[in-house]
Amino acid sequence: MINLTFPDGAVRQVQPGLSGAKLAASISKSLEKKAVALMKDGVLVDLADPITQDAKVRIITRDDAEALELIRHDAAHVLAEAVQELYPGTQVTIGPVIENGFYYDFFRNEPFTPEDFPAIEKKMREIIGRDKPFSKRIVSREAAKEFFKSRGELFKVELVDAIPEGQEIKFYDQGGWIDLCRGPHMTSTGKIGSAFKLMKVAGAYWRGDAKNQMLTRIYGTAWANDKDLQAYLTALEEAEKRDHRRLGREMDLFHFQEEGPGVVFWHAKGWTLFQALIAYMRRRLRADYQEVNAPQVLDKVLWETSGHWGWYRENMFKVQTAGDETEDQRVFALKPMNCPGHIQIFKHGLKSYRDLPIRLAEFGAVHRYEPSGALHGLMRVRGFTQDDAHVFCTEEQMAEECLKINELILSVYADFGFTEFVVKLATRPEKRVGTDAMWDHAEDVLTRVLDRISRESGGRIKTGVNPGEGTFYGPKFEYTLRDAIGREWQCGTTQVDFNLPDRFGAYYIDADGQKKMPVMVHRAICGSMERFLGILIENFAGHFPLWLAPVQAVVTTIVSDADGYAEKVARELRRAGLRVETDLRNEKINYKVREHSVAKVPVILVAGKREMEEGTLNVRRLGSQAQQSLKLEEVVRLLSEEATPPDVQREKAA
RNA sequence: GCCGCCUUAGCUCAGUCGGUAGAGCGGCGCAUUCGUAAUGCGUAGGUCAGGUGUUCGAGUCACCUAGGCGGCACCA
């Protein structure tokens, strides 16, 4: 006999080999019907699997949260069956569960289009309606390969070969249609229900490798019920409304055009935002950093020395004279990074150990030839501004510098309202420079720093490791923040580098009078200012806190008699440092309120006859219909206080 | 870069079977002076992304190029 422990702590003795299905049946008739899988020691397994030893068990019904991934996984199988039924000759490959849904990759000479969806969905519903049971059987490697080979499923043959020796090969049969799968599945296709929808088609490389064939991927979403499906579709629409490309146009922040793929035309309002962000960062750097500026165009030898010319040449802009007659054939590069420039500044003149650490910061405009398919609004561009810095320090100072940077990064994020972060250590990649000993050392230092960050945050900051994701010259920390709608963005990085100082021959004079190589720490907080602004636009859905809003308030009139008063109000607010516009157009107040609300101006100050006579303003805040009548002086005081950036407020309070 | 889709007025989008381009918003003009999310009337605005081809005739069909969108790959 074996002991099964139930979620309520109850223990039951049963015969070994009892299946989850039988177990459910022994509890109640209704549970037998509702059960779709078994949770055994924290792992989902098929209901038909025998339980052979003591375990903690829980019967999973379709309504349990754990069943959702099964619904999606089963839906992927049904999608594959539907496609093969409708389009014979299509080869199936893989079909995993992903966040919010599933996909299946197919190989077919003619790719699918969304126009095929109605037919496929209809067929899926038909298969689900048949409600055939999922049944599993273990097969031998040879039998599995033979089976797929005979059906012309060459991708599946490759998949069988990829299964590690000693691992079982399982076939799942769903009413005659069979797929290779590690499972688990629910009891029958009918359990999938009807709350699913095919979403999009996309190309995807076989096994994620660009050297392989392109497959057609069909994405779908699936939920336990229609209400959840509908909620998901609504959330997608909401996310679309805060798309920074859309808000950028609606709020007149920036634009892109054909002649400049991947480079931003910043309009006045967008540039105001940009400048507000840079001004904030400058204040945060004032105490510890020296701001510098290195050239845009430098001879390619510098990039050869750094290694960029070797590793990233395809992604660099080459710059040469455009003249046809010129003899000067010298090749320059538009800088893709700031580090070589900063090293030149460090190397200029002798540095003493007493000078260290030297922290050079730059809002450096860099250009990278990103693949055309990678471009995406402000999030991925070919010309952008990094809030970059390089700290030149001694070995002993390195860990302390990393911690100091960590504090700065986290406090910057907090000032923008981001409170959830993950810090990951990215370790040595295959493509790299420097000796293994150097890498061992650098990774060792960062691992210890990461432990300390985690420990000192009291577990508030999550940490992790990204193996092989480091840069070619050193390991790094990747700072990821979570936005208002739960999306994660990797922004900041801290990189420890023993390689570039060596390659460029940078040194300082140590206490013993000897030349010594400094360690270099690269760091960025926002990463790309353009991208960070894109993230901010989406995070706030364009509804910026007052200190960032490009137009902080609009003063508008109800009657033209109040025009003079409105001008005076605007002057006073501007004198207090606020970004204010007036709207004296001969339009109804409804019209003007609507227009400025749509433009997401945080504060509308209405001046009518009454306000003019009383020296007041009627204040209306974005997102609220409430009105508040306040004295002009009061408005100036309240708004300038609210528009004070968080760091300045902190300084004042201190 | 790869796969698929898209590109019509400043913006959002119609445009039938291949027969000579349309709406709303916005702009401009006039009237309206009005109390918190769209006042009325009038008016201008187009190389249908660019090119080549098929055709008596192309916004519409085919091919090429560019840009965009969704994924994939990439992201120093």
**What pLDDT band is residue A565 in, cutting at 50, 70 and 90?**
very high
Quick one: which of A602, A484, A547 has its CA closest to A273? Answer: A547
Angle at A643 between CA A641 and CA A649, to 5 degrees: 60
Nucleotide nearest to A597 (CA to C1'): B37
A649 is catalytic: no
SS3 A522: strand
Predicted complex ipTM = 0.95
Secondary element (H or E) of residue A653? helix A646-653
Q: Do residues A611 and A568 make contact, with C-beta atoms less than 8 angstroms apart?
A: no
Three-state SS annotation for A62-119: CCCCCHHHHHHHHHHHHHHHHHHHHCCCCEECCCCEECCEEEEEEECCCCCCHHHHHH
* A115 closest-nt by C1' vs CA: B5
Confidence of residue A459 (pLDDT cuts 50, 70, 90): confident
Whether A476 is catalytic: yes
> What angle do the packed helices A117-130 and A67-86 form, to 10 degrees?
110
Which residue is nearest to the C1' sugar atom of B68, using CA?
A258
**A627 CA to B66 C1', in Å?**
51
Distance, CA of A358 to CA of A571 (rounded, Å):
43
SS3 sequence of A228-245? HHHHHHHHHHHHHHCCHH
Q: What is the DSSP letter of A612?
A: H
Residues 6+ away with beta carbon under 8 Å from A325: none
pLDDT band at A588 (very low <50, low <70, confident <90, very high): very high
How many Å apart are A214 CA and B58 C1'?
Answer: 34
- CA dist A605 to A197, A328, A517, A562, A636, Å? 47, 61, 60, 12, 11
Q: Count the neighbouring beta carbons within 10 Å of the beta carbon of residue A31.
A: 14
In the sheet that A11-14 helps form, which strands lie side by side, from edge to edge? A11-14, A2-5, A55-61, A35-40, A43-45
Measure, in angstroms, how far nucleotide B67 C1' is from residue A150 CA: 46
Q: Which of A123, A522, A592, A620 is catalytic?
A: A522
Average pLDDT over chain A, rounded to an integer: 95
Among the options A123, A368, A432, A523, which is catalytic? A368
Measure A210 CA to B3 C1' (Å): 11
Q: Which nucleotides of strand B lie under 7 Å from a protein CB?
A: 1-5, 11-12, 31-39, 66-76
Give yes or no: A339 in active site: yes
**Residue A654 clears pLDDT 90, i.e. is over it:** no
Active site residue A275: no
Do A479 and A423 touch, CB atoms closer than 8 A?
Answer: yes
Specify the pLDDT at position A327: 86
Distance A261 CA to B68 C1' (A): 10
Q: Which helix (H) or strand (E) holds A38?
A: strand A35-40
Q: What confidence tens digit (pLDDT) does each residue in A493-504 have?
A: 999 999 999 999
Determine the Cα–Cα distance for residues A547 and A116; give it in Å rounded to an integer: 49
Q: Given a cut of 90, is residue A332 above it in pLDDT?
A: yes
Catalytic residue flag (residue A522): yes
Is A385 strand, coil or helix? strand
Q: What is the band of A387 on the pLDDT scale with cuts at 50, 70, 90?
A: very high
Summarize the confidence of residues A220-234 as an average pLDDT: 95
Closest-approach nucleotide to residue A625, Cα vs C1':
B36
Catalytic member of A269, A359, A390, A432: A390
Burial A106-122 (b: 16+ CB within 10 A, else e): bbeeebbeeebbeebbe
B49 C1' closest Cα residue: A258
Other CB atoms within 10 A of residue A503 CB: 17
A72, A73, A185, A339: which is the annotated catalytic residue? A339
For the segment A466-508, what is each residue's pLDDT rounded down to a tens digit? 999 999 999 999 999 999 999 999 999 999 999 999 999 999 9
Q: How much of chain A exceeds pLDDT 70, in percent?
A: 100
A368 noted as active-site residue:
yes
Write out the DSSP string of A541-608. TT---TTT-SS-EEEEESSGGGHHHHHHHHHHHHHTT--EEEE--SS-HHHHHHHHHHTT-SEEEEE-
| Mean pLDDT for the stretch of residues A169-190 | 95
Give yes or no: A388 in active site.
yes
